Amino acid sequence: MTADTLIDRPGTGTGRLKDGKGGTADIIFRFALTMAATLVLLVIAAIMLLLLRGGLPALMKFGPEFFITTDWDPNNEIFSAGVMLYGTIATAIIAILVAVPASLGISFFLTEVAPQVIRRPVGIAIQLLAAVPSIIFGMWGFYVVAPIMRDLVQPALISGLHWLPVVGYLFAGPAKGTGILTTGLILALMILPFMTALFVEVLESVPGVIKEASYGIGSTTFEVFTTVSVPYGRTAIIGAAMLGLGRALGETMAVTFVIGNANRISASLMASGASISSVIANQFNESAPGSLLQSSLLLLGFTLFVISFIVLALARYLVRNRLKG
């Protein structure tokens, strides 16, 4: 576009012609656009407020202890979030610990190693993995992955690691197949394609000249990746990883199938657990409207909303700043 444009390009300027041409129709049109945009804000505000309103009775009854104690006893109407907070966070952390290095490796492959012709097809194939509905991951995890974990992976981990000090506690107990570890691994696979795509986008935005400069002083391909490309996109890469974390925290169906649904915290990663989303999925339909159980579930939902909102907001802030900047 030439420099003497009358109208700013989208995203750079102040807006369209402002002399009111078009009259009433334009006023109505602009009003409709603004209303639609406002609706997006209203939806998220309404979700937050209604979850909080629904959770208030439980919050009044149990107080801040709701978030630190671990009782969940529907028969005696005693509820708290400890077990589910632990399950949600532990599975998400396992997912991130596995998925971030794996995604970085795959994005290294897709941006530097792979021959040009196969980059797009491989990239698209990995992208399609992200389109598979989460309930499919749940079924596959429960019927296919969990038996393998139970018969092969977990016995090997337990016999190989249980004698270690401290770490040993993480790998103790019977191998059940389902549980925190399996859930974390399935979540890792689910967020991997999404994170890989973002990493590739960030890494492709690294200016060729600075990579060439590094090659010019004798760096190897991997050295250019670790000392130039990754540091250059560091902020956006952290942001992308946090976006993945946000998704892992709120994932429901896959988790519900494989976490094992137990209302307690065990030191072992092999043990069953529960996450905020899995407890809501399992118990909400059985809770009577207005009951303390339902209120506690809504308070759990509000807690999940706040956690994911903070993570996602921070992530978007980091990603946007970098990719646009």
Partner 1 sequence: MNRFQRRLAFDATMQVIATGLALIALAMMAWILVTLVVKGANALSLRIFWLPMGPPDGSGGLANAIVGSFIQVMIATAIAAPVGVLAGTYLSEMGQSSRFGASVRFINDVLLSAPSILIGLFVYDIAVRPFGGYSAIAGSLALSIVILPVVVRSTEDMLRLVPGSLREAAFALGAPQWKVVTSVLWRAGRAGIVTGMLLALARAAGETAPLIFTSLGNGSWSFTLTEPMGSLPAAIYQYASSSSQAWVDLSWAGALVITVGVLVLNIVSRVVLAGAGRK
152 binds partner 1 (CB under 8 A): no
- Label residue 10 left, alpha or beta by phi (over 0 means left) and psi (-120 to 50 means alpha): beta
Look-up of token digits 């060729």: 208
Nearer to partner 1 (CB atom), residue 145 or residue 271? 145
The count of chain residues that interact with partner 1, using the rule CB under 8 A, is: 101
Q: Return d(Cα 158, Cα 324) in angstroms, integer.
A: 47
304 binds partner 1 (CB under 8 A): yes
Nearer to partner 1 (CB atom), residue 24 or residue 76? 24
With H, G, I as helix, E, B as strand and everything else as coil, classify residue 274: coil
Nearer to partner 1 (CB atom), residue 162 or residue 316? 316
Nearer to partner 1 (CB atom), residue 36 or residue 209? 36
CA angle at 296 for the pair 293 and 299, rounded to the nearest 5°: 155
182 binds partner 1 (CB under 8 A): no
Nearer to partner 1 (CB atom), residue 6 or residue 166? 6
Q: Provide the minimum distance between the beta carbon of 166 and partner 1 in the complex, in angstroms, as a whole number.
A: 28
Q: Return d(Cα 230, Cα 210) in angstroms, integer.
A: 12
Q: Provide the minimum distance between the beta carbon of 168 and partner 1 in the complex, in angstroms, as a whole number.
A: 28
Hey, which residues between 195 and 234 contact partner 1 (CB under 8 A)? 196, 220-223
Tokens standing for residue 165: 């000090």
306 binds partner 1 (CB under 8 A): no
Q: Return the amino acid letter for 152.
A: L
Q: Which of 52, 56, 57, 134 binds partner 1 (CB under 8 A)?
A: 134
Look-up of token digits 């097809």: 121
Q: Which of 90, 94, 181, 189 binds partner 1 (CB under 8 A)?
A: 189
| Contact call for residues 247 and 190 (beta carbons, < 8 A) | yes
139 binds partner 1 (CB under 8 A): yes
Hey, which residues between 67 and 86 contact partner 1 (CB under 8 A)? none
153 binds partner 1 (CB under 8 A): no
Nearer to partner 1 (CB atom), residue 140 or residue 169? 140
Burial 199-222 (b: 16+ CB within 10 A, else e): bbbbbeebeeeebeebeeeebeee
312 binds partner 1 (CB under 8 A): yes
In this structure, the number of other CB atoms found within 10 A of the CB of residue 310 comes to: 12
